[in-house]
Structure 1
């Protein structure tokens, strides 16, 4: 029962809270703000993991300094990539183009947005996501079965989201999947973004811990920038290039710190065995 309750908390935070808060926040803000604010995830996860003693800060050690500095650089690079453009870098145009994006990206909507409310919801999504990382790390210790855990978590989350969806929208037409685009989006979100993503992330947390996995999230901005240039003919700016370099540098610093910390723990264990 204790384990099922922890998986239920994972479903509330990772599946329901994270996605519902994010979609509401995105509806009331912009994609740029949405991408930027989600990159506070490594910092939030680092704080929670330290509070729950899943990560040792070890600020006096080189490994601890590398993890802390890498996290700050990673988040800073993500913010720079999102909010600063600078001069355009002329690297030519991609030979690949997604024509479908032209028909969907140019349609304007007259919705009223609330940037403050949207930003708060996106930050709430990041907090929910960070809580899921830390709780999932504890679940993985007691129940090292990431695929079964994902099944239970997504099953609980789907029930929670259905209840919220019915409460928020009673129109039957809004639940229709007759549109090919809507059907493809739902299948992709369910199969790739939920089932596959949660399984791989849970497995990675089980192997390497919450902070190690969360620090990869800013790579999303680098991948999106590259795909936007390739598929949507968007331009590459100085801010994009410098931000991408900082993200990779910060990621490397955290990974180096984690590797050094692991070696130090092994050395301390060997010394303790020799002393006994």
Structure 2
């Protein structure tokens, strides 16, 4: 993969894959599948899928693994896979794909806030770009709170012609068994919590890529560790062997899809993009997911759109693009700045000079 557009194309591919993940996994959970069991299968399938690729493409890099890298991978597996996936999928079970994806748009703002203390992002509050990032973050948080705690009136849309009857039946059964708005609020809070775990993974992954730039190997080890962690948690939560049975139905489709596409390809591509463009760049593409899932949710799941969700989504997307605009303006200013030559000895002994941005490529 090469060229300036390759990271953008890779992240667009990831978002399309995630859109299918939200729909398929929601249908599987509506059919009665445990989210803990599904996440365990997801990471096991992803490990099996990625291991041959890592061996063929990066078999020499396995010798470069050190104790520090393994510890960073362990932290990545906890925050980027285990915690993030458990919080998100349980939240998705009690909410809807559109709401879960809309709240996931908080990710860039959360990533920005968490990256500042680690000097991976700068505020520059006295500049227009810095103010745009701050106000964008405020809008994202406000939009997420509105979606979580305000429902509003129903926005009437024409009925979709591609509606899937199976989805309607399973969704109706789940809605009757889980309850109403109380569970919707719980689901929204869990999705927001998953964004914090996801942002922590971005930051740890960005640091690890500086010393171990092997996305397939790191993703394989990450999924393997997460699979073992989820297996322990699942056995503690789900005591019946029957919940692990997969038939020729939506559960098997969900496990294979989210394992290969949702974890295998997604983790590898995101790790590669973080290495190339930094953690904030990867989180910039979440609005694309919201648009795709909103269309699929309306067409396949017959989701209803309420005023609070619509206004909250608009605020989140608007805030996100303020953050992106500020980041783009900041990168333009840094690119136009005159960078003096610095001896290699100075850089290697004390780290990056103050006029370097840690998330940029040099």
The two structures have a TM-score, normalised by structure 2, of 0.64
- 1:35-86 per-position Cα deviation (integer Å, ceiling 9, x unaligned): 5654543333222100111101111112212222223334434554564444
1:177 pairs with 2:246: yes
Task: For residue 268 of structure 2, give the secondary structure of its aligned residue in structure 1.
Answer: helix
How far is the alpha carbon of 1:205 from its aligned partner? Answer: 2.0
Q: Using a 3 Å threshold, how does the CA distance of structure 1 residues 93 and 130 change in structure 2: closer, same or farther?
A: same
* Separation (CA, whole Å) in 2 of partners of 1:67 and 1:141: 26
Q: Using a 3 Å threshold, how does the CA distance of structure 1 residues 101 and 75 change in structure 2: closer, same or farther?
A: same
1:136 pairs with 2:202: no
The partner residue of 1:22 within 76, 83, 88 is: 88
8 Å CA contact 1:225–1:240 kept in 2: the answer is no
How far is the alpha carbon of 1:4 from its aligned partner? Answer: 1.5
Aligned equivalent of 1:214: 283
Across the aligned residues of Structure 1 and Structure 2, the Cα RMSD in angstroms comes to 3.1
Aligned equivalent of 2:257: 188
* Separation (CA, whole Å) in 2 of partners of 1:94 and 1:4: 49
8 Å CA contact 1:66–1:254 kept in 2: the answer is yes
Q: Using a 3 Å threshold, how does the CA distance of structure 1 residues 204 and 89 change in structure 2: closer, same or farther?
A: farther
How far is the alpha carbon of 1:241 from its aligned partner? Answer: 4.8
Task: For residue 185 of structure 1, give the secondary structure of its aligned residue in structure 2.
Answer: helix
Residues 8-17 or 112-121, more deviating: 112-121
* Separation (CA, whole Å) in 2 of partners of 1:68 and 1:131: 19
* Separation (CA, whole Å) in 1 of partners of 2:296 and 2:329: 34
Q: Trace 1:139-158 onto structure 2 (pairs within 5 A).
A: 139-158=208-227
* Separation (CA, whole Å) in 2 of partners of 1:191 and 1:120: 27
1:88 pairs with 2:88: no
Task: For residue 95 of structure 1, give the secondary structure of its aligned residue in structure 2.
Answer: coil
The partner residue of 1:197 within 245, 258, 266 is: 266
8 Å CA contact 1:75–1:218 kept in 2: the answer is no
Q: Using a 3 Å threshold, how does the CA distance of structure 1 residues 255 and 127 change in structure 2: closer, same or farther?
A: closer
Which consecutive residues of structure 2, in runs of 5 or more, have no partner in the other structure? 1-66, 342-362
8 Å CA contact 1:98–1:231 kept in 2: the answer is yes
Residues 107-116 or 241-250, more deviating: 107-116
- 1:165-191 per-position Cα deviation (integer Å, ceiling 9, x unaligned): 223333221111125121112112211
How far is the alpha carbon of 1:193 from its aligned partner? Answer: 1.6
How far is the alpha carbon of 1:239 from its aligned partner? Answer: 4.8
Aligned equivalent of 1:52: 118
8 Å CA contact 2:114–2:200 kept in 1: the answer is yes
Which consecutive residues of structure 1, in runs of 5 or more, have no partner in the other structure? none
